[in-house]
Amino acid sequence: MMRRLRLAILVAAGLALLAFARPSSAQDRAEAVEADMSSREISIKSDFTGAEIVVFGSVDGSKRTDSDPDYYDVIIVIRGPAETVIARKKERFAGIWVNGPSEGVTELPSFYAVLSTRPLTEIADMETLRKYGVEFDPNPASWGGAKMAEEFADAIVRIKKRDGLYIEKPDAVKFLGRSLFRGNITLPVKVIEGDYTATIYLLQAGKLLSRDDVTLTVKKVGLERILETLAFERPWLYGFMAVLMAVACGFTGWMLFGRS
């Protein structure tokens, strides 16, 4: 009888210790961010006018509380496929505008967006953010090892912003409770085909705790895909079809309107 009582006391004590130990182990667990996108593939058709995507995720092992809503900062950086860009300066010659000096840069992100829970300058100093690969405005001279004059670099960034291809949205990432967060961004009509990578950074007091990467694919479909494939992979066939179509249209017009 005493033996059974002693065993019951030991089991009860062990369960009590586990009950107290479980919360502390959860609190001591390192935070980790896990993220995804509302869509992993976007199709470009003839009626494509842009697309809105939502980046969402959660903080595993979150220590955020209602009394300290700014405990974590989340930065989402979306980079498009690299491209080669040439900037040309227009000059006036004999009363007309002509192309003047030009400079080019390779490996430049075709699309670059930064979303964050608050302005970047309030999250961490720029040197720290640059170390993590977060920078806005992205300087074209820093890509592809190019040495580019400041006026050309500024022109590229200015045009990219005008076309909605370089975007900065502070306060665009919102926490929905203790660990869930989300941010949305619109891809403009001028996006190019390829893989777009969203990198999600979780920071606390300016220190990087965790990161995650999500990939989105943008591709043309339908007639647009067929014409592009012909133009770049079968240019002779594309040219022949264009000439044949022009001849057919001209002959049809002559048959309908050219006879008296």
pLDDT digits (tens, 9 = 90+) for 175-195: 988 889 999 999 998 888 899
At residue 22, the pLDDT reads: 44
- pLDDT tens digit string along 204-221? 988 899 999 999 999 877
Whether 166 has a pLDDT exceeding 80, the answer reads yes
At residue 237, the pLDDT reads: 65
Environment class of residue 70 by beta-carbon count within 10 Å: exposed (0-12), middle (13-18) or buried (19+)? Answer: exposed
Whether 254 has a pLDDT exceeding 50, the answer reads yes
Q: What is the mean pLDDT of residues 38-43?
A: 88
At residue 114, the pLDDT reads: 93
The domain spans of the chain are 27-220, 222-260
Distance CA 52, CA 164 (A): 13
Task: Report the range of poorest mean pLDDT among 14-28, 50-64, 91-105.
Answer: 14-28
At residue 147, the pLDDT reads: 59
E strand segments, the chain: 32-37, 41-44, 51-60, 73-79, 82-93, 96-109, 112-116, 166-169, 174-175, 180-187, 194-204, 207-220
Q: What is the mean pLDDT of residues 81-95?
A: 80
At residue 69, the pLDDT reads: 75
What's the CATH class of domain 27-220? mainly beta
Whether 167 has a pLDDT exceeding 80, the answer reads yes
- Degrees (nearest 5) of the Cα angle 164, 168, 169? 110
Confidence label for 231 from pLDDT (cuts 50, 70 and 90): low
At residue 77, the pLDDT reads: 93
CA distances from 112 to 24, 47, 66, 115, 196 (A): 41, 24, 32, 10, 9
Whether 236 has a pLDDT exceeding 70, the answer reads no
Whether 68 has a pLDDT exceeding 90, the answer reads no
> Does the pTM exceed 0.75?
no
